[in-house]
Structures are given as structure tokens and as C-alpha cells.
Structure 1
Amino acid sequence: MTELDSRQRAFLRTMANQLQDTVQIGKAGFLPTLATDLDQQLLVRELVKIHVLKSADEDPRTIAERAAQAVGAAVVQVVGRKVVLYRHSPKRAESGKDIWLPERRNP
């Protein structure tokens, strides 16, 4: 899983404001088939916004952590029922379209 510092998360949150939800999680919760779809989307987009429907049995924070762990991504933010995940994509890096994160600060 990718670790992000606060500057990187803030940068990604700004980018995520423009995104539309591409994944919806409902009553069935986070399923393995959803992990494959999410993995493909992260490979193509790097930054994915998820909408957790009201009918979902689990809270959005738990779903975000499970989803991030399943696909090796980082949770950028959870606001209400919206979840944003990030994972660097080698496919996008090859084409020069990957997201350039601010450098990590030294602790």
C-alpha cells in the first residue's frame, strides 16, 4: 500500500474535487469482483472516487480501508459517503500521464 504524507494527500484531494464517482458500493458491500474492477480503474486513472450508498451495511471508512488493502492503494480521504483512493500506475507513467505528487518531507 502506498503511504502518503499530508502534502501529497492535500494535492490529491484538490485533484479529486473535479472527479465524478466511478464506483458505487451498495448493500452487498465490498465484493471481490468489485476489487478487480477497482484495480483496473486505478491502473487507468490512478485516482478513483467511490460513492458508498446509504444501503451499504458497513460505514464508508471501513469500506475505504478494505478496498485500499485489496488493491494496494492509499486512502486519500473519506468525506461523508465519498471515498477517494490513489495508487501509482506504471501504465500511465509509461505514457507520461501519471500524477506527479509533491516530494515527501523528511521526518
Structure 2
Amino acid sequence: MVNQTTDVAHSSGWNFHFVRAINEKEMDELSELLDYLATTTICSSLDDRRVWLPDKIKGFSYNSSLSTVQDLDGQADFIPYKMVWKSQIPKKIKAFGWLVALAKLNT
């Protein structure tokens, strides 16, 4: 969705260049993101690194992601993992089915 961003280390703010027009819901989400970024400090003297916040020591795992989804959605009894990921269908369909199962599709 974002084509590029301005080098914030040498400017006074963020300047997103979107490849398409954003809708009202996305505008609200962008506003929340910008509010969050306003409180974020960028330290250009440190190297970038990825951190999986739910488990900073071991990093990302299926179990930690499942626990995170369950905690966020409160749907501990409905995680159709086997139905979606173990089926003999193309990966794109599996990913779509997973989003449908978790009610994460924008309509």
C-alpha cells in the first residue's frame, strides 16, 4: 500500500506516498499510526532489528502467534488451523480462508 516514505531521520515528519487513494477507515487507522509515530524516537546510530514482542527471548513461533491471536480475539475455542492449513488447496486460498475464519477481511 505504501510506495515509499520520506527519510524521517533528516526531516521533521512522515510523508507517505500511497499507490492508491485510502478510504475513511484507513484514514482513521493512518491517524492512529501517525499519533503513535509522533511518540516514537528513531535512533539512527543503532542497527535495525526485528523483535517478536509476545516472546522477545525465543522469537516468533506458531504457538506464540496462536496465543497472541487467542488473547486478542477471545476466540480460543475457534481456531480452525487443521481445517484451513492442512487441506489440499492452493496457499493463496488457505491464506484467504484463514482471514475469513478469523473475521479479518475488510468488507
TM class by smaller structure: under 0.3
By relative contact order (CA 8 Å, sep 6+), the higher-ranking structure is 1
User: Which structure is higher in strand share?
Assistant: 1
* Higher-Rg member (1/2): 2
- Using the size of structure 2 for normalisation, the TM-score is 0.24
Return the structure number with greater helix share: 2
TM-score (norm 1): 0.24
